[in-house]
Amino acid sequence: MIFRHIATIYGKELRDSLRDRRTLISIFVVPTLIVPVLTLAVGRIGLRAMSKAREETPVVMLLGGNDSPDVVAALHQSAKFKLVPGTDNYQQLISDKKVRAAVRLPEGFETGLKSGVVQQVTIYYYEGELKSSFAAGNLERFFNDLKDRTVAASLAAHGLPVSLLKPLAVARENVAPPEKVGGNAVGGFIPYLIILLCFTGAIYPAIDLTAGEKERGTMETLLCSQVGRAEIVLGKFFMVLTSSLCAMVFSLLSMVGVFLLGGATIGRGARMAEAAARTSAHAAIPMIDPLGILGVLAMVLPAAVLFSALLLTIALFAKSAKEAQSYVTPLTFLVILPAVVGVLPGVELDARLSLVPLLNLSLVGKEMISGIWHWRYIALIFLSTCVYAGAALAWCVRMFNREEVIFRV
């Protein structure tokens, strides 16, 4: 093994890649510009749509209520919706978005309320339609208020305090530090994202340096030089690894930028932001343990080696870049699946799962970002991923030595 040869091949591949517009796009432009711009744009569009939906006074149809003038008058007075008289085709009107929701008052509603007979109010809405859900929510709040007022009046009439209905109050107090709360909220997502970025960053160069070279006829030129196959593999492998890590780092940096710049705006649209909005806009951004992020990055290094070696080997089997792309696409699902399983609630890290590649990273990453460091599992996962990466690299060298793979016709 001559390290000078490995360095020569790596240097050439790096120079070649930096002159290739497609590589530059996949490593720099997409992660640093397109992804953040799209993220911001989608966030802003979503927020605007949400605000618009909230600001709009929904048209609500009243069905029945002819014998309940007070409730109908209160409904008319509410600024939360615009009441229109009922028609038989109310379901169609809701579907057509001409009316956002409808409410049916039973016959003798007011009389029933006064005499203590349970009244059934039905709200009709279109599940999954945002404005319809808002309208239904407004109606529900209106009738809950009416219910509370009715109960309070009834209790008062009997000389009883309102507190009779609430003999005790239950409150929850959070004792977890903010980074743990943030870790639990987004902890599963971050390792998943890092794993995916690492993988996607390696795809294009892996294909270009193997199947692409075969297709362009440069592979044979390289193989007839004095350099050994293992040196060629390592030179190319380091280039793919560089690309994988660069894509990941640039993506993360740009996302941090987007998070800091646009987090407050986008965050307001999220549920988490709703809860925190009472305090400040910045509280919308979940706190994450920075050491956890660094820990995840360190854990992902052997996974990047694994991806680079695997992608190089798989792409090597193909005769053309197009064929290689069709081999690599299914592999993307194999990468996404364990990472997604790791995000699911209830899946917890144990010694058995520590040996499952990628799922182990996703699970331990979630813990690390929450500030929980299981050192035994961390060591087991790091070592096992190193073993898998080493095996993948050895397989890659082996395949480079097989002429039926290199000269496949």
Q: Does 4 bind other proteins (CB under 8 A)?
A: yes
Minimum CB distance to other proteins smaller for 59 or for 234: 234
Residue with tokens 């995000």: 343
Q: Does 9 bind other proteins (CB under 8 A)?
A: yes
Residue with tokens 């091949």: 9
Q: Does 319 bind other proteins (CB under 8 A)?
A: no
Phi/psi region, residue 313 (left: phi>0; alpha: psi -120 to 50; beta: rest), is alpha
Give the tokens for residue 72: 């109908």
Q: Select the span of 16-24, 107-115, 145-153, 165-173 touching other proteins (CB under 8 A).
A: 16-24
Q: How far is the CB of 403 from other proteins (least distance, A)?
A: 5
Q: Which one among 51, 87, 91, 221 touches other proteins, defined by CB under 8 A?
A: 221
3-class state of residue 180 by DSSP: helix
In the structure, how many helices (H) and strands (E) does the chain have? Answer: 18, 4
Give the tokens for residue 23: 């590589």
Gap between the Cα atoms of 140 and 142, Å rounded: 5
Minimum CB distance to other proteins smaller for 8 or for 325: 8
Q: Does 225 bind other proteins (CB under 8 A)?
A: yes
**Binding to other proteins, residues 226-255 (CB under 8 A):** 226-228
Length in residues, the chain: 409
Minimum CB distance to other proteins smaller for 20 or for 67: 20
Q: Which one among 5, 180, 236, 366 touches other proteins, defined by CB under 8 A?
A: 5
Query: Residue 104 forms beta bridges with which residues?
Result: 63, 122
Q: How far is the CB of 219 from other proteins (least distance, A)?
A: 9
Gap between the Cα atoms of 360 and 374, Å rounded: 12
Q: Which one among 79, 157, 169, 224 touches other proteins, defined by CB under 8 A?
A: 224
Q: Does 123 bind other proteins (CB under 8 A)?
A: no
Strand order from edge to edge, sheet including 101-105: 82-85, 59-64, 101-105, 122-125
Q: Which one among 14, 16, 104, 181 touches other proteins, defined by CB under 8 A?
A: 16
3-state DSSP helix/strand/coil % of the chain, to nearest 5: 70, 5, 25
Minimum CB distance to other proteins smaller for 163 or for 218: 218
Q: How far is the CB of 24 from other proteins (least distance, A)?
A: 12
**For 28-177, where are the alpha helices, taking DSSP H only?**
35-55, 69-77, 90-95, 109-115, 130-157
E strand or H helix at 308, and its extent?
A: helix 290-316
Q: Which residues of 51-68 are buried (b: 16+ CB within 10 A; e: fewer)?
A: eebeeeebbbbbebbeeb
Q: Which one among 15, 98, 114, 322 touches other proteins, defined by CB under 8 A?
A: 15
Minimum CB distance to other proteins smaller for 29 or for 37: 29
Q: How far is the CB of 12 from other proteins (least distance, A)?
A: 5
Q: Select the span of 46-54, 140-148, 213-221, 309-317 touching other proteins (CB under 8 A).
A: 213-221
Q: Does 82 bind other proteins (CB under 8 A)?
A: no
Residues that bind other proteins (rule: CB under 8 A) add up to a total of: 25
Q: Select the span of 8-16, 109-117, 124-132, 161-169 touching other proteins (CB under 8 A).
A: 8-16
The residues binding other proteins (CB under 8 A) are 4-5, 8-9, 12, 15-16, 19-20, 216-218, 220-228, 403-404, 406-407
